[in-house]
A and B are shown apart, each in its own frame.
Chain A
Amino acid sequence: MTLPVDMSTTLGNAWFPAPLFTASGCASSGKELAQFFPLNQIGAVVTKSVMSKPRHGRPTPRMAETPSGMLNSIGLQGPGIDSFLANDVPWLLEQKARVIVSIAGETVEEYSTLARKLRSVSGISAVEVNISCPNVENRGLVFACDPDASRRVIDGVRKTIGGDLPIIAKLSPDVTDLPSIARGVVDAGADGLALINTVLGMVINIDSMRPHLGGKTGGLSGPAIKPVAVRAIYQVHAALPKVPILGMGGVASGRDALELILAGASGVSVGTASFGNPSAIIEIQNELRDLLAARGFATMQQAIGYAHREEA
């Protein structure tokens, strides 16, 4: 198949043949989506953030649909890093999928421990350091809301993991000055940024007259937050034009993906849209290629940050 547009992209020193990715936490470890499209057709599978130990997550209800969006309150349920590396990563590599492993920890040390385990795993394209999951017991644990804690986590991961594997720091939009947090983690050794994690929200059940979610608060995702993502990516790309951004937040069509790329994203993750349509990623990738071609772009990379160009 010949591509009218070169769709390849890079995040740090990692090269990907296509610019669409799963979003961590929205594709589990890939097995569930393999029935709907070949996993090697997209840029990479970004796996669900894994912690050092198996974890149950939060109580149900964990979900509430909201206008053009949803709240989730999963709380990082997962098998733990050892089971994940023994079972999930080998399976993905067998499928010839590229893999970005997302890690999450409760302490700076836990992130370093996870990084140490990843260091010896071959075949991984990059590591996403999720410092912005909103579904933890104590909001104080959202490292990405604290510039100093963010830097310490990334610094620890960088020192442990060594030089080669690109580190992508996943940040929260729920901060006052996102560019300064972004600059801090880049200074600490992040090669790229994942923008944005979900936006903290709440739904109150008017029958029980209490918060609907078991975890009370949840992360808002879906088309409702797309303008927040576009703004965040635009602001950070303006401040740090050389730092690659994996953009995400409400992308449900090729037009949405293009918007994030024009704002400054080098790649685009699709999350919540996969819940409503498990083949959304591949459809969005095809739509994006047509939209780029129609606008005269020979390569996807020419469109990155194009919305920032000076007035003619």
Chain B
Amino acid sequence: MATINKNAIQQVVTLVSNKRIGAYHQILLNVGDVVKSCRPGNFVAIRVGGDSSKMILRRAFAISRVADNSQYGGTMELIVAPHGSGSKWLCSQQEGAEIDIIAPLGTAFGIPTEPINALLIGGGYGSAPLFGLADVLKNRGCKVDMLLGASVGSKIYAPMEGKRSVNSLKIYTEDGSMGETGRVTENLLDIVRDRNIDVIYSCGPMAMLSAITALVAETDVIHQCAVEESMACGVGICMTCVLPVQNEDGTTSMLRSCIDGPVMDGSHVRWDLVGKVPEALA
């Protein structure tokens, strides 16, 4: 009887399409019924490199969105930046390729039971899972605003169809090549106040998640963030992807971002201790 990873299925699936979008690849996998248990925030662990590869570890990717009844049956969409040898291999796979996946893994974004004002913030390809989340929030009657940021315009992922599920979308680039010049944190507190934001959902680089947490620390806003820490297994057995997280009693535990995350309450993460070790337990 499994108590952890309890919806996860390991299976070999077929790649349905692989399209380049800006700096990213949009990869669609025909995964079947497992889409029914995928929630926004969950991730997939993919074996890379083929059978004779020297790459022995899976690569974790946020599930961008799933569809239950596309022409292929259940499909899963990933937005992949080809920057390491594993992600480059995945981005080089053609239609019809067989891909070994384990999904869904990890925690999901908490969905409110009543309509709220939600602000979704994505950095780089971190925006990918936010569009699926926006659909779910919209269906619950929430007001959904979105801020996306990246270093350059080609690294903004904002699909046309995704824009329909948000009430507003504001884009920032550091070089000003798209949207406003600057970062998503630029006028964050003004936006939170003007739009009566209840919950921020974020996904992107750790520095961005940490900065958002610091900005909203003095407000009542709940900050749910999807963290990114390098993982060896994705299923909780290797203990490499840990983050310092504050417990209710004030002590700090090193929690696995694969099974206790990737979605965490930003105010619980001890961002100041990331890359360090908390003081010895009493």
Contacts and interface: CB of A to CB of B under 8 A. Distances in A.
Given A34-B3, A59-B276, A59-B277, A28 B236 contact: yes
Interface in A75-92: 77
Contacts of B236: 28, 31-32
Contacts of B243: 60
Interface string B242-282: 11000000000110000100000000000000111110110
Nearest to B240: A63
A60 B229 contact: yes
Contacts, number: 121
Contacts of B102: 278
A68 B55 CA distance: 6
A58 B235 contact: no
A67 interface: yes
A54 B281 contact: yes
A63 B234 CA distance: 13
Nearest to A60: B275
B240 A72 contact: yes
B277 A35 contact: no
Interface string B73-107: 00000000000000000000000000000100000
B160 interface: no
A70 interface: yes
B232 A74 contact: no
A102 B115 CA distance: 50
A302 interface: no
A106 B253 CA distance: 21
A27 interface: yes
Given A53-B281, A67-B54, 4 more contacts: A27-B237, A63-B230, A63-B240, A68-B56
A233 B54 CA distance: 24
A36 interface: yes
Interface string B212-246: 00000000000000000111110111111111000
Given A31-B3, A60-B229, A276-B47, A77 B281 contact: no
Query: Interface residues of B: mostly helix, strand, loop or mixed?
Result: loop
B8 interface: yes
Interface of B: 1-6, 8, 10, 47, 54-58, 102, 229-233, 235-243, 253-254, 259, 274-278, 280-281
B5 A32 contact: yes
Contacts of B277: 56-59
A53 B282 CA distance: 10
A33 B115 CA distance: 38
Nearest to A61: B230
Give the residue among B10, B231, B242, B275 with the most A Cβ atoms within 10 A: B242
B4 to A, nearest CB: 5
B254 A56 contact: yes
B56 A70 contact: yes
Interface residues of A, number: 43
A41 interface: no
A276 B231 CA distance: 11
A120 to B, nearest CB: 25
A61 B280 CA distance: 19
A134 to B, nearest CB: 15
Contact of A62 (B58, B237, B239): B239
6 contacts: A32-B259, A34-B4, A36-B5, A53-B281, A55-B281, A74-B238
Contacts of A223: 56
A59 to B, nearest CB: 5
Given A57-B254, A62-B240, A278-B233, A36 B10 contact: yes
B208 to A, nearest CB: 18
A69 B230 CA distance: 16
A206 B235 CA distance: 29
Contact of B235 (A65, A68, A278): A278
Contact of B4 (A31, A68, A274): A31
B4 A275 contact: no
Contacts of B56: 65, 68-70, 222-223, 252, 272-273, 275-276
Contacts of B57: 65, 70, 275-276
Contacts of B241: 60, 62-63
Contacts of A26: 237-238
Contacts of B5: 32, 35-36
Given A65-B56, A272-B56, A95 B232 contact: no
